[in-house]
Structure 1
Amino acid sequence: MRLIGSKTLSLGMVALLGWGLVPSASAAPPPPTNTVAKGNDWRIEPVAGGYRVTLDLDRRVPLRDALPMLAVDGRAIGVAKESADRRSVSLISKDPTVLKARDVKLTWSGDPDGQRSKAAAGPTDAEWLKAKMGPALADDPGAKGRYAVETAEYNLGDEAIYLPGLKQKSELRGKVYSPRGATGARPLIVFLHGRHQVCYGGDENGPFPEKPWPCTGVWKSIPSYRGYDGPAEALASHGYQVVSISANAVNAWDSDAYDAGAQARAELVLDHLDLWKKWSTVGGGPFGTKFVGKVDLRNIGLMGHSRGGEGVARAAVLNADRGGRYGIRAVLPLAPTDFARATVPGVAMSVVLPYCDGDVSDLQGQKFYDDTRYSVTGDNAPRSTVTVLGANHNFFNTEWTPGQSVAPSNDDWYEEGSESPCGAKYVGRLTAKQQQAVGTAYVAGFFRLQLGHEKQLLPLLDGSNGRAVSAGKAVVRVVAQAPAADRRDLSRLDQPLPAGAVSGKAKTAVCSSGCVQIEDQSQLPHWGPSWFAEKTPTLAVTKLSWTGKDGVLRVPVAAGQRDVRQYAALTFRAAPDAAGAPRTDLSIRVVDGHGRAASVPASTLGDALVRMPGSGDVTPKNLLRTVRVPIASLKGIDLRDVRAVELRTDRVASGSVFLSDVSFSRPGVGTSAPAVLLPKLSASSVKVQEGNTGTKNVDFFVTLSRPSIRPVSVYAETNGDLGQSVGQVARKVVFTPGQTRQKITVPVTGNTRDSDDLAFSLVLSAPHDGLLDEPFGHGLVVDDDPTPTLKIGPATASENAGVLKFPMTLSAPSDRYVSVQGDLKDGTAVLGKDFKAFDEEPPSRSFYAYIEPGQAKGVLEVRLVDDKVKEPAETFTASVTEVDAAQLKVPLGLIGTITDND
Structure 2
Amino acid sequence: MRVRGSLVLGMAVLLAVAPLTAQAATPEVPSVATSNKWDVRQVPAGYRVTLRLDEPVPVRAAMPLLAVNGIPVGVARQSADGRTLTLITSDRTAASAHDVQLVWPGDVSNAGVSARAQAGGPTDAYWLKARKGPLLKEDPGKSGKYKVETSEYNLGDEAVFLPGLGQKSEVLGKVYAPVGAVGQRPLVVFLHGRHESCYGEGVGDKPWPCPKGAKPVPSYRGYDGPAKALASNGYQVVSISSNSINAYDYDASDGGAQARAELILHHLSLWKKWSTAGGGPFGTKYVGKVDLQNVGLMGHSRGGEGVARAAVVNADRGGQYGIRAVLPLAPVDFARSSVPGVAMSVLLPYCDGDVSDLQGQKFYDDTRLSVTGDGAARSTVTVLGANHNFFNTEWTPGQSVAPSADDWGGEGNTAPCSSGYAGRLKAKEQQAVGTAYVAGFFRLQLGHEKQLLPLFDGSDARAASAGKAVVRVVAQAPLASRRDVTAFDKALAKGAVTGKATAAVCIGETGKGACLTTDGSGDAPHWDGAAYVSAAPTLAVTRLSWTGKTGAVRLNLPAAQRDVRRYAALSFRAAPDPASTPTTDLTVRVLDGRGRAAAVPVSAVSDALVRMPGNKSAGLPKNLLRTVRIPLSSLKGVNLRDVRAIELRTDRVAKGAAYVSDLAFSSPGVGSSAPAVTLPKVSVADVTTKEGNKGTNYADFVVRLSRPATRPVTVFAQTTLPYEDVMLVQDVAQAVVFKPGQVRQLVRVPIKSNTRDTFDTKFSLAIAVPKEALLARSFAQGLVLDDDPSPKLILGNLTTTEGKGEVTFPVRLSALSDKHIGFGGVWKDGTAILGPDYRGQYDPPEHTLVGGIESGKLAGELIVQAIDDKVKEPTETFTAVLDEVVGIDGIKLPVTATGTVLDND
TM-score (norm 2): 0.91
- Code of the residue aligned with 2:858 in structure 1: it is A
- Code of the residue aligned with 2:887 in structure 1: it is A
CA distance in 2, matches of 1:351, 1:832: 73
1:240 aligns with 2:223: no
Consecutive unaligned residues in structure 2, runs of 5 or more: 18-29, 509-513
Q: Which residue of 1 aligns with 2:775?
A: 772
Find the residue that maps to 1:523 and give its secondary structure.
Answer: coil
- Code of the residue aligned with 1:817 in structure 2: it is H
Q: Which residue of 1 aligns with 2:622?
A: 621
Shift of residue 716, structure 1, vs aligned partner:
1.9
Q: Which residue of 2 aligns with 1:42?
A: 38
| C-alpha contact (below 8 Å) 1:49/1:724 kept by paired residues | yes
Q: Which residue of 2 aligns with 1:208?
A: 205
| C-alpha contact (below 8 Å) 1:231/1:440 kept by paired residues | yes
Shift of residue 828, structure 1, vs aligned partner:
6.2
- Residue-by-residue CA offset, 1:40-75 (whole Å, 9 max, x unaligned): 112234556554322222211222211223222223
CA distance in 2, matches of 1:424, 1:98: 36
- Code of the residue aligned with 1:598 in structure 2: it is A
Q: Which residue of 1 aligns with 2:158?
A: 159
1:266 aligns with 2:255: no
CA distance in 2, matches of 1:450, 1:324: 18
CA distance in 1, matches of 2:56, 2:872: 49
Find the residue that maps to 1:439 and give its secondary structure.
Answer: helix
Q: Which residue of 2 aligns with 1:12?
A: none
Q: For residues 325-344 of structure 1, what are the structure 2 equivalents within 5 Å?
A: 325-344=320-339
1:184 aligns with 2:183: yes
CA distance in 2, matches of 1:805, 1:521: 51
Measured at CA, do residues 899 and 360 of structure 1 come closer, stay the same or move farther in structure 2, by a change above 3 Å? farther
| C-alpha contact (below 8 Å) 2:295/2:325 kept by paired residues | yes
| C-alpha contact (below 8 Å) 2:7/2:824 kept by paired residues | no
CA distance in 2, matches of 1:248, 1:589: 54
CA distance in 2, matches of 1:773, 1:607: 40
CA distance in 2, matches of 1:846, 1:550: 85
- Code of the residue aligned with 1:105 in structure 2: it is Q
CA distance in 1, matches of 2:64, 2:836: 42
CA distance in 2, matches of 1:796, 1:629: 92
1:382 aligns with 2:377: yes
- How many aligned residue pairs are there? 873
Between 853-862 and 778-787, report the one with greater CA deviation.
Answer: 853-862
Measured at CA, do residues 725 and 153 of structure 1 come closer, stay the same or move farther in structure 2, by a change above 3 Å? same
CA distance in 2, matches of 1:524, 1:899: 72
Measured at CA, do residues 813 and 55 of structure 1 come closer, stay the same or move farther in structure 2, by a change above 3 Å? same
| C-alpha contact (below 8 Å) 1:50/1:724 kept by paired residues | no
- Code of the residue aligned with 2:738 in structure 1: it is F
Measured at CA, do residues 824 and 628 of structure 1 come closer, stay the same or move farther in structure 2, by a change above 3 Å? farther
CA distance in 1, matches of 2:586, 2:783: 54
| C-alpha contact (below 8 Å) 1:370/1:539 kept by paired residues | yes
Q: For residues 521-560 of structure 1, what are the structure 2 equivalents within 5 Å?
A: 521-560=521-560
Between 62-71 and 829-838, report the one with greater CA deviation.
Answer: 829-838
CA distance in 2, matches of 1:793, 1:596: 99
- Code of the residue aligned with 2:280 in structure 1: it is G
CA distance in 2, matches of 1:102, 1:24: 34
Q: Which residue of 2 aligns with 1:606?
A: 606
| C-alpha contact (below 8 Å) 1:66/1:110 kept by paired residues | no
Q: Which residue of 1 aligns with 2:489?
A: 494
Shift of residue 260, structure 1, vs aligned partner:
1.2
1:743 aligns with 2:739: no
Between 396-405 and 440-449, report the one with greater CA deviation.
Answer: 396-405
Find the residue that maps to 2:369 and give its secondary structure.
Answer: coil
Measured at CA, do residues 643 and 850 of structure 1 come closer, stay the same or move farther in structure 2, by a change above 3 Å? farther
Between 92-101 and 381-390, report the one with greater CA deviation.
Answer: 92-101
Measured at CA, do residues 897 and 425 of structure 1 come closer, stay the same or move farther in structure 2, by a change above 3 Å? farther
| C-alpha contact (below 8 Å) 1:708/1:738 kept by paired residues | yes
| C-alpha contact (below 8 Å) 1:831/1:845 kept by paired residues | no
| C-alpha contact (below 8 Å) 2:825/2:883 kept by paired residues | yes
Measured at CA, do residues 796 and 91 of structure 1 come closer, stay the same or move farther in structure 2, by a change above 3 Å? farther
Q: Which residue of 2 aligns with 1:249?
A: 244
- Residue-by-residue CA offset, 1:875-898 (whole Å, 9 max, x unaligned): 887665643213666666666678
- Residue-by-residue CA offset, 1:166-188 (whole Å, 9 max, x unaligned): 22222211110000011011000
Between 57-66 and 223-232, report the one with greater CA deviation.
Answer: 57-66
Q: Which residue of 1 aligns with 2:350?
A: 355
CA distance in 1, matches of 2:902, 2:138: 92
Q: For residues 842-861 of structure 1, what are the structure 2 equivalents within 5 Å?
A: 849-861=851-863
Q: Which residue of 2 aligns with 1:11?
A: none
Find the residue that maps to 1:281 and give its secondary structure.
Answer: coil
Measured at CA, do residues 802 and 413 of structure 1 come closer, stay the same or move farther in structure 2, by a change above 3 Å? farther
- Code of the residue aligned with 2:645 in structure 1: it is A
Consecutive unaligned residues in structure 1, runs of 5 or more: 1-22
CA distance in 2, matches of 1:743, 1:729: 12
1:55 aligns with 2:51: yes
1:566 aligns with 2:566: yes
| C-alpha contact (below 8 Å) 2:840/2:863 kept by paired residues | no
Q: For residues 24-423 of structure 1, what are the structure 2 equivalents within 5 Å?
A: 29-30=12-13, 31-32=15-16, 34-46=30-42, 49-95=45-91, 97-109=93-105, 111=107, 115=111, 117-118=114-115, 119-203=118-202, 207-209=204-206, 212-423=207-418
Q: Which residue of 2 aligns with 1:6?
A: none
Shift of residue 549, structure 1, vs aligned partner:
0.9
Pairwise CA RMSD: 2.8
Q: For residues 672-711 of structure 1, what are the structure 2 equivalents within 5 Å?
A: 672-711=673-712
Between 708-717 and 88-97, report the one with greater CA deviation.
Answer: 88-97
| C-alpha contact (below 8 Å) 1:47/1:815 kept by paired residues | no
Between 235-244 and 47-56, report the one with greater CA deviation.
Answer: 47-56
1:757 aligns with 2:754: no
CA distance in 2, matches of 1:875, 1:106: 51
CA distance in 2, matches of 1:596, 1:213: 70
Between 255-264 and 49-58, report the one with greater CA deviation.
Answer: 49-58
Measured at CA, do residues 847 and 570 of structure 1 come closer, stay the same or move farther in structure 2, by a change above 3 Å? farther
Q: Which residue of 1 aligns with 2:27?
A: none
CA distance in 2, matches of 1:245, 1:53: 38
Between 333-342 and 732-741, report the one with greater CA deviation.
Answer: 732-741
Q: Which residue of 2 aligns with 1:424?
A: 419
Shift of residue 733, structure 1, vs aligned partner:
2.0
| C-alpha contact (below 8 Å) 1:348/1:672 kept by paired residues | yes
Shift of residue 874, structure 1, vs aligned partner:
8.7
Q: Which residue of 2 aligns with 1:582?
A: 582
1:465 aligns with 2:460: yes
| C-alpha contact (below 8 Å) 1:113/1:521 kept by paired residues | no
Shift of residue 287, structure 1, vs aligned partner:
0.6
| C-alpha contact (below 8 Å) 1:76/1:112 kept by paired residues | no
| C-alpha contact (below 8 Å) 2:72/2:520 kept by paired residues | no
Find the residue that maps to 1:857 and give its secondary structure.
Answer: coil
Measured at CA, do residues 139 and 789 of structure 1 come closer, stay the same or move farther in structure 2, by a change above 3 Å? same
Shift of residue 347, structure 1, vs aligned partner:
0.7
- Residue-by-residue CA offset, 1:143-177 (whole Å, 9 max, x unaligned): 11111000011111122222222222222111100
Q: Which residue of 1 aligns with 2:666?
A: 665
Find the residue that maps to 1:139 and give its secondary structure.
Answer: coil
Shift of residue 835, structure 1, vs aligned partner:
6.2
Measured at CA, do residues 135 and 27 of structure 1 come closer, stay the same or move farther in structure 2, by a change above 3 Å? farther
Measured at CA, do residues 302 and 24 of structure 1 come closer, stay the same or move farther in structure 2, by a change above 3 Å? farther
- Residue-by-residue CA offset, 1:546-594 (whole Å, 9 max, x unaligned): 1111110112222121122222211111111112211111111111111
Between 415-424 and 467-476, report the one with greater CA deviation.
Answer: 415-424
Measured at CA, do residues 497 and 223 of structure 1 come closer, stay the same or move farther in structure 2, by a change above 3 Å? same
Find the residue that maps to 2:194 and give its secondary structure.
Answer: coil
Measured at CA, do residues 833 and 96 of structure 1 come closer, stay the same or move farther in structure 2, by a change above 3 Å? farther
| C-alpha contact (below 8 Å) 2:717/2:735 kept by paired residues | yes
- Code of the residue aligned with 1:196 in structure 2: it is H
CA distance in 2, matches of 1:24, 1:153: 46
Q: For residues 624-643 of structure 1, what are the structure 2 equivalents within 5 Å?
A: 624-643=625-644
Q: Which residue of 2 aligns with 1:10?
A: none
Shift of residue 806, structure 1, vs aligned partner:
3.6
